[in-house]
C-alpha cells in the first residue's frame, strides 16, 4: 500500500503525465488541480503529525539497491513537514502568478520539480536524497533556459555549472563516507558523526565537498554569483519557486547533513564559517542598494535573509563553549521560522515585481514614480511584503529574525553585532525603493496603470493575511517543529 509521503511525491508526477493528455492549450487548471490534491495530502500529514513525538514519523522503508545499502527510506520530522507545507503553498502561488499560460511543457516541468522537492525534504537515505536533489535542479535549468528572458542561455549555463560542480563534490564526499562506514542512512551517519566519520585529511576533504555543494545551493558568499542572473532571467513564477523553496534545500542540507556529520570540523573552523555568513548578510544588501533592476534587488536581498539562517546555524554548531539550551533553542527556532517566512515573503516580492513589469513592460526602479496616486491597493499590499522582509513587528518576518538574533547574540555576540549592519542596509534599500516607486509625482508612463485586478487580489490577499497571522499568532507553526528543535538543541548543548 502506498504511504502518504509516497503519494505526495507521486501526485505531481501524475499531474505532469495528465497535462500531456489535456485537450486544451491552457494547462494551468489541471496543474492546479494536482497541486490542490498534493496540498490536501500535505495537510493530512500535518493533521496526523504528533508534535510531541521524537524522531521520524510516517516512515516508509523498502529495499531498493541492497548491494550498496541504498533503501527507499522516507519520513518526516518537524523540519521536513514545515518544508513540505511550504512547497505546497509556493508552487500553486507561482502557477497563479504566471502572467499568461505557458504551454504544456512549462507546467509539466514545474510539477516534476515539485515532486523532486517533496522527495528531497522527506528522503532519509543519501542515494535517494541525492536522486531527488538532482531531479529538482534539472527542471530549474530547463525552465530558465527555455522560458527565461534576456541572457537566459548564459544564466542557465551558469546556474547549471555551479550546481552541477557542487553536486559532484558532494557525491564524491559521500562515496568516501560510504566506503569508510558502509551506510548511506542519515540517522546512522549522524550517530557515527559524534565520534568522527573519517580521520585526518580525508575528513576535511569530505567536509569540504559537502560544504561546497550545499553552500552553492543556499547560496552562501562567495558561492552566490549565479543567483542574481538566474533570478533576474527566470520567468516570474520560476523566480518565486527558486527563492521560495529551492534555496531552502541548501539550508535543509546544512541542518540534515553537514552539522550532524562533521561537528568537530565545524567547531575548528567556526569563526571562518561565521565570517562567510556575515559577508552574506552585509554585502548582499549593499549589492542590492546598487541595483536598478527590481528583480536583481530582490534577489540580492534573498541572499541576505538566508545569511541570517546560516549565522544562527554556525553560531550554534561552532560555539567553542557549551551554550545554554534556551539560547540554542531560540536560534534554531528562528532558523526554522525564517526558512518558512522568507519563502512566503520573497515569493510575494517577486510576484509584485512581476505585476509592475506586466503593467509597464519594464522593471527598473527608475521606470516608475508616484504609483500611490494611481494604484493604492497594489502599493499597500506590496508595502506589507516589504515590511515583512524588513522584520516589522506584527508581520511574519519579525519572528524568525528576532529569535535568530536573540539566540545568536548570546552565543556569538561579536559576529551577531556586525550582522546588524545588514538589517540597517536592508531598511535603506527598501525605503529607497518605496520612495522611488510610490512617492513623488505620477510618472507619465504610469498614468494608465490599473490597480490590483480581482484575480490578482485573490492571489495576494490570502498570502498577505498569512503574513499577519504568523506575525501575530505564530504558535501553530512552532508546534510543528518544537520537538525537533528541542532534540537538536540538546545535541548542541
Q: How much is the pLDDT for 12?
A: 92
Q: What are residue 123's phi and psi, to 5 degrees? A: -65, 140
First and final C-alpha spacing in the chain: 41
Alpha-carbon dihedral angle through residues 87, 91, 92, 98, given to the nearest 10 degrees: 160
pLDDT of residue 8: 92
Per the domain annotation, does 476 fall within a domain?
Answer: yes
With respect to residue 368, please indicate whether it lies within any of the assigned structural domains. yes
209 within some domain: no
Whether 40 is covered by a domain: the verdict is: no
pLDDT at 236: 86
Pairwise CA distance, residues 306 & 313, whole Å: 11
Provide the pLDDT for residue 202.
84
Residue 325 covered by a domain: yes
3-state SS assignment for residue 74: strand
Per the structure, the complete domain to which residue 380 belongs is given by 269-493
What span, in angstroms and rounded, lies between the C-alpha atoms of 116 and 144?
Answer: 17
Q: Mind listing the pLDDT tens digit of every residue in the chain (493 residues)? A: 568 888 999 999 999 888 888 766 678 888 889 989 999 999 989 999 888 888 888 888 888 888 777 888 888 988 899 999 999 999 998 888 877 666 788 888 989 999 999 999 999 888 889 899 888 888 888 888 888 778 888 888 888 888 888 888 888 888 888 888 877 888 788 777 777 777 778 888 888 888 998 888 888 888 888 888 888 888 888 888 888 888 888 889 888 888 888 888 888 888 899 999 999 899 989 998 888 888 889 989 888 888 899 999 888 887 765 566 677 888 888 999 999 999 999 999 999 998 888 888 778 888 887 888 888 888 889 899 999 988 888 898 898 889 998 888 888 888 888 888 888 999 999 888 888 888 878 777 777 788 888 888 888 889 999 999 999 989 998 988 888 888 887 777 5
Whether residue 327 lies inside any domain: the answer is yes
Q: Which three cell numbers stand for residue 114?
A: 515539485
CA proximity to 167, closest of 134, 143, 194, 135: 134
Q: Where are the alpha helices (DSSP H) in 225-269?
A: 226-233, 236-241, 247-253, 259-261, 263-268
H/E stretch holding 344 reads helix 325-360
Q: The pTM is what?
A: 0.91
**Over the Cα atoms of the chain, what is R_g?**
22
Class of residue 444 by CB neighbours under 10 A (exposed 0-12, middle 13-18, buried 19+): exposed
**Count of structural domains, the chain:** 1
- Phi, psi dihedral angles at 452 (to 5 degrees): -55, 130
Residue 27: inside a domain = no
Query: Rounded CA gap, 42 and 364, in Å?
Result: 38
- The C-alpha atoms of residue 377 and residue 450 are separated, in whole angstroms, by 10
pLDDT at 57: 86
Q: Which of 199, 68, 203 is nearest to 126 (CA)?
A: 68
Residues 6+ apart with CB under 8 A from 3: 58, 60, 74
Give the position of cell 526558512.
339
With respect to residue 416, please indicate whether it lies within any of the assigned structural domains: yes
| pLDDT value of residue 173 | 86
pLDDT at position 221: 85
pLDDT of residue 126: 87
Place of cell 518558512: 340
Amino acid at each position: 500500500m502506498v504511504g502518504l509521503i509516497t503519494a505526495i511525491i507521486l501526485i505531481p508526477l501524475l499531474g505532469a503525465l495528465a497535462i500531456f493528455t489535456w485537450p486544451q492549450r491552457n494547462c494551468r487548471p489541471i496543474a492546479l488541480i494536482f497541486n490542490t490534491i498534493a496540498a490536501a495530502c500535505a495537510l493530512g500529514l500535518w493533521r496526523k503529525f504528533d508534535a510531541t513525538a521524537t524522531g521520524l514519523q510516517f516512515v516508509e522503508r523498502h529495499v531498493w539497491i541492497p548491494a550498496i545499502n541504498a533503501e527507499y527510506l522516507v519520513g518526516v520530522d518537524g523540519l521536513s513537514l514545515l518544508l513540505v507545507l511550504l512547497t505546497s503553498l509556493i508552487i500553486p502561488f507561482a502557477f497563479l502568478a504566471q502572467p499568461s499560460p505557458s504551454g504544456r511543457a512549462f507546467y509539466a516541468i514545474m510539477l516534476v520539480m515539485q515532486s523532486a522537492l517533496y522527495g528531497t525534504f522527506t528522503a532519509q537515505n543519501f542515494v535517494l536524497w541525492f536522486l531527488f536533489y538532482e531531479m529538482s535542479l534539472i527542471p530549474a535549468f530547463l525552465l530558465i533556459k527555455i522560458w527565461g528572458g534576456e541572457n537566459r542561455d548564459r544564466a542557465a549555463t551558469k546556474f547549471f555549472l555551479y550546481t552541477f560542480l557542487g553536486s559532484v563534490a558532494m557525491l564524491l564526499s559521500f562515496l568516501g563516507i560510504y566506503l569508510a562506514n558502509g551506510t548511506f542512512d542519515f540517522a546512522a551517519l549522524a550517530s557515527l558523526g559524534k565520534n568522527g566519520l573519517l580521520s585526518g585529511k580525508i575528513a576535511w576533504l569530505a567536509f569540504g565537498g559537502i560544504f561546497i555543494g550545499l553552500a552553492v545551493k543556499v547560496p552562501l558568499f562567495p558561492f552566490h554569483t549565479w543567483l542574481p542572473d538566474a533570478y533576474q532571467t527566470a520567468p516570474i513564477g520560476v523566480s518565486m519557486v527558486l527563492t521560495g523553496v529551492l534555496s531552502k534545500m541548501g539550508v535543509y542540507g546544512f541542518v540534515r547533513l553537514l552539522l550532524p556529520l562533521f561537528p568537530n570540523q565545524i567547531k575548528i573552523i567556526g569563526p571562518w564559517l561565521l565570517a562567510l555568513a556575515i559577508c552574506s548578510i552585509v554585502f548582499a544588501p549593499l549589492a542590492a542598494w546598487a541595483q536598478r533592476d527590481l528583480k536583481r534587488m530582490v534577489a540580492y536581498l534573498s541572499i541576505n535573509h538566508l545569511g541570517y539562517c546560516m549565522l544562527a546555524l554556525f553560531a550554534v554548531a561552532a560555539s567553542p563553549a557549551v551554550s545554554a539550551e534556551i539560547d540554542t533553542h531560540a536560534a534554531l527556532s528562528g532558523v526554522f521560522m525564517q526558512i518558512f517566512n522568507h519563502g512566503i515573503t520573497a515569493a510575494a516580492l517577486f510576484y509584485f515585481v512581476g505585476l509592475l513589469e506586466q503593467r509597464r513592460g519594464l522593471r527598473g526602479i527608475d521606470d516608475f514614480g508616484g504609483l500611490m496616486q494611481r494604484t493604492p491597493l497594489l502599493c499597500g499590499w506590496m508595502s506589507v511584503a516589504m515590511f515583512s522582509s524588513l522584520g516589522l513587528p506584527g508581520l511574519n518576518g519579525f519572528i524568525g529574525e528576532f529569535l535568530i538574533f536573540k539566540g545568536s547574540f548570546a552565543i556569538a555576540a561579536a559576529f551577531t553585532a556586525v550582522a546588524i549592519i545588514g538589517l540597517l542596509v536592508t531598511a535603506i534599500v527598501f525605503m529607497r525603493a518605496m520612495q522611488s516607486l510610490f512617492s513623488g509625482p505620477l510618472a507619465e508612463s504610469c498614468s494608465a496603470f490599473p490597480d490590483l485586478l480581482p484575480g490578482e487580489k485573490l492571489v495576494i490577499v490570502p498570502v498577505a493575511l498569512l503574513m499577519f497571522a504568523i506575525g501575530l499568532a505564530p504558535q501553530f507553526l512552532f508546534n510543528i517543529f518544537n520537538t525537533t528543535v528541542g532534540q537538536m538543541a540538546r545535541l548542541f548543548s
